[in-house]
């Protein structure tokens, strides 16, 4: 059996649950019979529903998987949650070998699933495409290990780093095909975050199940498109009186005259919003870099060439090139004439 090929298939299956399983991890599963033939596949489709292993096993009759191999990108759970422990069903169905990508970082599991399988006489193989499996569940890993919300930034700029002209003209920098990819990226995150300045300037719809607006002085009102979304959360200056409206209003302290971002992100975790994608102007993008876990940067083959143009990261003055924040480019993808750079802060590697 080609373990790596099987694990890649698990990862493909797991991605089908993007946007639906949070706060759970993304998990896919492939089951082989004793002769090495694929007899079932499954994935975790939605939070509260069957995990990937249970999804795959329950498609089979009781003895079909006996003596076979189960491949999964994450250690099978060993505890009761929304569903019973997957290891119990794996043992019950007579699986002979379990091949896993990585150990579960949830302290409730963390090796206990593997231990229970081994105690039942099942061979366990681990660490297959482990880096890819960890990348797949980078949100879940941060949630579990740091007890914090995963923060990503999406921006789109010209070759010279501009997101708009000096008077705010910005539609459109990138192509239709690049903007379609943005919709896919958005779906991976539990919420989108922007500022009142962006809402007022662009009136974006930012269609999502949860939208967050940093509106220190409560400048936005319900006539903006963003308020048509399912859930809208407003962070505003705690010194202001409690506003009225259908949105969720949260008081926030100020830091250096602006809403305290550390408070905002901590509050999001307390609200069980486990991941957030920032789509805003250069000021918030730049101010959020020290909290960011990942950046999606679309670049169009255009040059504005105007110093008054607005930059994608505009948050400080620096007179020494060695003050640059450093990043690791993870991937370069083409979308029509545009490219997408996906990169991570080196400080968080």
List active site positions.
53
Cβ neighbors of 70 (< 8 A, separation 6 or more) are: 29, 30, 31, 32, 53, 56, 57, 90, 95, 97, 98, 99
Token pair belonging to 144: 């579990």
Dihedrals φ, ψ of 143, to 5°? -55, -45
State the Cα–Cα distance between residues 340 and 327, nearest whole angstrom.
15
> Nearest CA to 28 among 15, 39, 47?
15
Please state, in angstroms and rounded to a whole number, the distance separating the CA atoms of residues 284 and 261: 9
Which two structure tokens, joined as six digits, stand for 304?
A: 């504005």
What is the Cα–Cα distance from 14 to 133, expressed in whole angstroms? 10
Question: How does DSSP classify residue 75?
Answer: P
Which residues lie below 8 Å from residue 9, measured CB to CB, with a gap of 6+? 28, 30, 41, 71
For residue 178, give the nearest of 330, 55, 323, 339 by alpha carbon: 339
How crowded is the C-beta side of 248, counted as CA atoms within 13 Å?
11
Which residue matches tokens 């300045």?
197
> In whole angstroms, what is the distance from residue 336 CA to residue 301 CA?
10
CB distance 79 to 53 below 8 Å: no
Q: Which of 284, 288, 296 is nearest to 342 (CA)?
A: 296
Tokens of 195: 């500022």
Phi and psi angles of residue 243, each rounded to the nearest 5 degrees, phi first: -80, 170
The span from the CA of 76 to the CA of 72, in Å, is 8
CB 308 within 8 A of CB 169: no
């Amino acid at each position: 059996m080609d373990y790596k090929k099987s694990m890649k298939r698990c990862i493909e299956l797991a991605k089908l649950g993007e946007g639906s399983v949070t706060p759970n991890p993304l998990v896919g599963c492939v089951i082989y019979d004793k002769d090495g033939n694929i007899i079932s596949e499954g994935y975790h489709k939605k939070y509260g529903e069957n995990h990937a292993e249970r999804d795959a096993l329950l498609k089979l009759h009781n003895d079909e998987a006996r003596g076979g191999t189960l491949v999964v990108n994450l250690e099978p759970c060993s505890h009761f949650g929304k569903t019973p422990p997957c290891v119990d069903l794996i043992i019950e169905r007579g699986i002979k070998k379990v091949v896993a990508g990585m150990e579960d970082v949830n302290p409730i599991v963390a090796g206990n699933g593997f231990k229970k399988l081994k105690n039942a006489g099942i061979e366990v193989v681990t660490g297959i495409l482990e880096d890819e499996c960890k990348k797949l569940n980078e949100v879940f890993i941060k949630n579990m290990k740091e007890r914090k919300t995963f923060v990503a930034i999406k921006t789109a700029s010209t070759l010279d780093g501009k997101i708009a002209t000096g008077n705010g003209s910005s539609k459109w920098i990138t192509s239709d095909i690049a903007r379609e990819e943005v919709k896919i990226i958005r779906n991976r995150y539990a919420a989108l975050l922007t500022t009142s300045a962006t809402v007022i300037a662009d009136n974006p719809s930012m269609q999502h199940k949860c939208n967050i607006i940093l509106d220190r002085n409560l400048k936005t009102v319900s006539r903006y498109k963003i308020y048509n979304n399912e859930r809208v959360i407003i962070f505003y200056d705690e010194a202001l009186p409690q506003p009225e409206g259908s949105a969720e209003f949260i008081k926030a302290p100020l830091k250096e005259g602006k809403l305290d971002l550390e408070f905002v992100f901590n509050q999001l975790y307390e609200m069980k919003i486990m991941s957030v994608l920032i789509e805003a102007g250069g000021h918030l993008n730049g101010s959020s870099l020290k909290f960011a876990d990942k950046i999606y940067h679309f670049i169009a083959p255009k040059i504005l060439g105007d110093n008054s143009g607005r930059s994608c990261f505009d948050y400080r003055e620096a007179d020494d090139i060695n003050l640059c924040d450093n990043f690791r480019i993870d991937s370069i993808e083409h979308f029509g004439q545009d490219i997408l750079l996906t990169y991570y802060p080196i400080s968080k590697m």
